[in-house]
């Protein structure tokens, strides 16, 4: 169905802009009320649950392709010396369709940081029952795990991962890390194979898990692909619908933006909600002066890559195991470092035809980035700056992670399956050389958050309240990773799904 045809001829109770990790959840939950008409608009293709192409459905293919990506990159060349690719899925299911399918919850300490900002209703006691309710997993302690939710989470076993990945886990134990049975259980400080939203090799994105064929047949739910939202329309200060990029408008009683950490702030700013000076520079009339886009967070990511011995060069499945631990600067109860073991690497770039990546990350960065508009044109790429290592603590902690990763690289049994270190390479043998290597090649973990943050009534950075309602206007919500008050110490996808589950309950 053409995106601008039938949907412009009727009024919906709710229009949701963006069908990703949050929007697909909202569409399912809000359409459970048969008396509420819901329209879900997705800029990318809206595939049927069983019709996703392999680039989206195959869990061993990570990062999507140009047909399913927004094609964004940051403007960090001045600070870092290079820009950073900002992968975002452009498909029903959003970035849950192109990510590594890691299904790890945020921790209680993450939510304690949120509530310390004066935010009610987001404590661990508030969110934990919802984390359990959204998932279905056949393993793990029933006190911690959910059995009957829509989102499948499967704990990968040592037998399921590659020989080199098993060696990574065992070498991590050899240097003193604990083996964790279940990162979504009682303990997280240590090493374990990943929990993944993968079933029989298929990445189960939210477009599959939440928008099943049965859900899509609901007469009160309309799902439209190829429909990009330009701006929110207002009567005075009340949202009344959206304007589509290709022309046409959709009328609605309530508007929810779920376009992600780049898309949602961009739509808000084009609608006149954002930093007044920035909007005036672009000749956008200011409806509400608000700190939109000014608290962007992302996890910095550095690749410590090893060529594998030819007799241990298996590279599938690509997602294997991860270390989650604390740096010497971590606050009490916080785990602020990841070392993520994957085979997401072109084997042709390895002299042996096989490689393993130990990707190091600071998961509680202090550096703050930004998202702005390059122009009023909705097709223009936003101005994204991650500002990695703006806070010196982030670089110090990244160096700790890389030193630990390289120590594991020299430890049996991992060292027994390694032919050579490829990145940063054996010539990088002192702190200054390592610092230069990190700065010159740092990437993003593809976990952008906090560009439209929630906050309590006295939080000067808050754009939305604890229910995602945009301050200063009516009938407009933002529900996605952009509203996290601060980035969490885990991969962000499951927490983004949680946010949509929590707020959908409050919206009734």
pLDDT the model gives residue 4: 56
Q: Point out which residues pair with 306 in neighbouring strands.
A: 356, 421
Answer whether residue 11 shows pLDDT above 90. yes
User: How far is Cα of residue 109 from the mean position of the Cα atoms in its chain?
Assistant: 19
pLDDT the model gives residue 243: 97
DSSP codes of every residue in 236-271: TTEEEEEEETTS-EEEEEEEEE-SHHHHHHHHHHHT
Answer whether residue 7 shows pLDDT above 90. no
> Domains of the chain, with CATH numbers?
6-103+203-296+448-507 (3.50.50.60), 159-193+300-364+389-441 (3.30.410.40)
Q: Are 110 and 324 in contact (CB under 8 A)?
A: no
Q: Are 248 and 231 in contact (CB under 8 A)?
A: no
**CA–CA dist 403, 304 (Å, integer):** 10
Answer whether residue 3 shows pLDDT above 70. no
CA torsion angle 304 309 311 312 (round to 10)? -20
Q: Work out the mean pLDDT of the chain and round it to a whole number.
A: 97
pLDDT the model gives residue 99: 98
Each residue of 312-358: pLDDT tens digit? 999 999 999 999 999 999 999 999 999 999 999 999 999 999 999 99
Answer whether residue 55 shows pLDDT above 90. yes
State the pLDDT confidence band at 5, using cuts at 50, 70 and 90: low
**CA–CA dist 361, 98 (Å, integer):** 19
The residue written with tokens 């006190």 in the block is: 143
State the pLDDT confidence band at 1, using cuts at 50, 70 and 90: very low
- Mean pLDDT over 392-407 rounds to 98
State the pLDDT confidence band at 9, using cuts at 50, 70 and 90: confident
State the pLDDT confidence band at 508, using cuts at 50, 70 and 90: confident
Would you give the end-to-end CA distance of the chain in angstroms? 29
Residue 116, C-beta contacts closer than 8 angstroms, at least 6 positions apart: none
Active site residues: 447
Count of CB atoms within 10 A of residue 215's CB?
A: 18
Residue 219, C-beta contacts closer than 8 angstroms, at least 6 positions apart: 34
Cα-based distances in Å from 464 to 31, 92, 287, 331:
23, 25, 15, 27
Each residue of 105-122: pLDDT tens digit? 999 999 999 999 999 999
State the pLDDT confidence band at 213, using cuts at 50, 70 and 90: very high
Each residue of 232-265: pLDDT tens digit? 999 999 999 999 998 899 999 999 999 999 999 9
Strand 135-136 vs strand 151-152: parallel, antiparallel, or unpaired?
parallel
- Mean pLDDT over 134-151 rounds to 97
Give the sign of the dihedral formed by CA 152, CA 155, CA 159, CA 160. Answer: positive
pLDDT the model gives residue 276: 98
pLDDT the model gives residue 6: 76
Q: Are 182 and 155 in contact (CB under 8 A)?
A: yes
Answer whether residue 8 shows pLDDT above 90. no
Residue 28, C-beta contacts closer than 8 angstroms, at least 6 positions apart: 150, 210, 211, 215
Q: Are 109 and 417 in contact (CB under 8 A)?
A: no
The residue written with tokens 């600067």 in the block is: 329
Answer whether residue 413 shows pLDDT above 60. yes
Answer whether residue 200 shows pLDDT above 80. yes
The residue written with tokens 């002299």 in the block is: 351
Query: In this structure, what are the phi and psi dihedrals at residue 300, rounded to the nearest 5 degrees?
Result: -70, 150
pLDDT the model gives residue 2: 44
- Mean pLDDT over 167-171 rounds to 98
Residue of 10 and 45 predicted with greater confidence: 45
- Mean pLDDT over 100-106 rounds to 98
């Amino acid at each position: 169905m053409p995106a601008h045809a039938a949907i412009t001829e009727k009024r919906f109770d709710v229009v949701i802009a963006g069908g990703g990790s949050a929007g697909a959840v909202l569409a399912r939950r809000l359409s459970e009320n048969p008396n509420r008409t819901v329209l879900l608009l997705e800029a990318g293709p809206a595939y049927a649950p069983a019709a996703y192409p392999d680039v989206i459905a195959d869990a061993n293919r990570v990062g999507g392709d140009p047909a399913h990506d927004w094609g964004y990159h940051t403007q960090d060349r001045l600070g870092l010396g290079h820009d950073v690719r900002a992968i975002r899925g452009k498909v029903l299911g959003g970035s849950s369709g192109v990510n590594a399918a890691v299904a790890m919850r945020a921790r209680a300490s993450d939510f304690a940081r949120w509530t310390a900002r004066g935010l009610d209703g987001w404590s661990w006691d508030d969110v934990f029952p919802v984390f359990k309710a959204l998932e279905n997993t056949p393993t793990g302690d029933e006190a911690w795990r959910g059995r009957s939710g829509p989102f499948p989470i499967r704990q990968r076993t040592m037998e399921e991962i590659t020989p080199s990945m098993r060696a990574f886990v065992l070498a991590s134990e050899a240097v003193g890390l604990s083996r964790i049975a279940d990162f979504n259980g009682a303990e997280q400080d240590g090493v374990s194979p990943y929990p993944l939203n993968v079933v029989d090799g298929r990445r189960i994105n939210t477009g599959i898990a939440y928008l099943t064929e049965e859900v899509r047949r609901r007469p009160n739910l309309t799902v439209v692909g190829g429909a990009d939202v330009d701006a929110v329309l207002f009567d005075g200060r009340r949202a009344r619908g959206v304007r589509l990029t290709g022309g046409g408008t959709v009328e609605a009683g309530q508007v929810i933006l779920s376009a992600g950490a780049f898309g949602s702030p961009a739509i808000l700013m084009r609608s006149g909600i954002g930093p007044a000076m920035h909007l005036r520079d672009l000749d956008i009339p200011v409806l509400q002066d608000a700190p939109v886009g000014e608290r962007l967070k992302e996890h910095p990511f550095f690749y410590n890559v090893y060529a594998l011995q030819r007799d241990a060069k298996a590279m599938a499945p690509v997602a294997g195991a991860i270390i989650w631990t604390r740096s010497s600067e971590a606050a009490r109860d916080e785990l602020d470092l990841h070392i993520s073991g994957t085979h997401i690497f072109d084997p042709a770039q390895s002299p042996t035809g096989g490689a393993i990546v130990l990707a190091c990350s600071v998961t509680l960065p202090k550096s703050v980035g930004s998202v702005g508009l390059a122009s009023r044109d909705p097709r223009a790429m936003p101005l994204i700056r991650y500002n990695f290592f703006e806070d010196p603590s982030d670089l110090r902690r990244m160096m700790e992670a890389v030193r630990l990763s390289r120590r594991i690289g020299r430890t049996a049994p991992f060292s027994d399956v390694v032919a050579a270190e490829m990145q940063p390479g054996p010539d990088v043998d002192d702190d200054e050389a390592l610092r230069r290597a990190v700065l010159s090649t740092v990437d993003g973990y593809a976990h952008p958050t906090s560009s439209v943050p929630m906050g309590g009534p006295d939080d000067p950075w808050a754009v939305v309240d604890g229910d995602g309602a945009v301050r200063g206007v009516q009938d407009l919500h933002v529900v996605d990773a952009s509203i996290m008050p601060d980035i969490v110490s885990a991969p962000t996808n499951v927490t983004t799904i949680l946010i949509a589950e929590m707020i959908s309950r409050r919206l009734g």
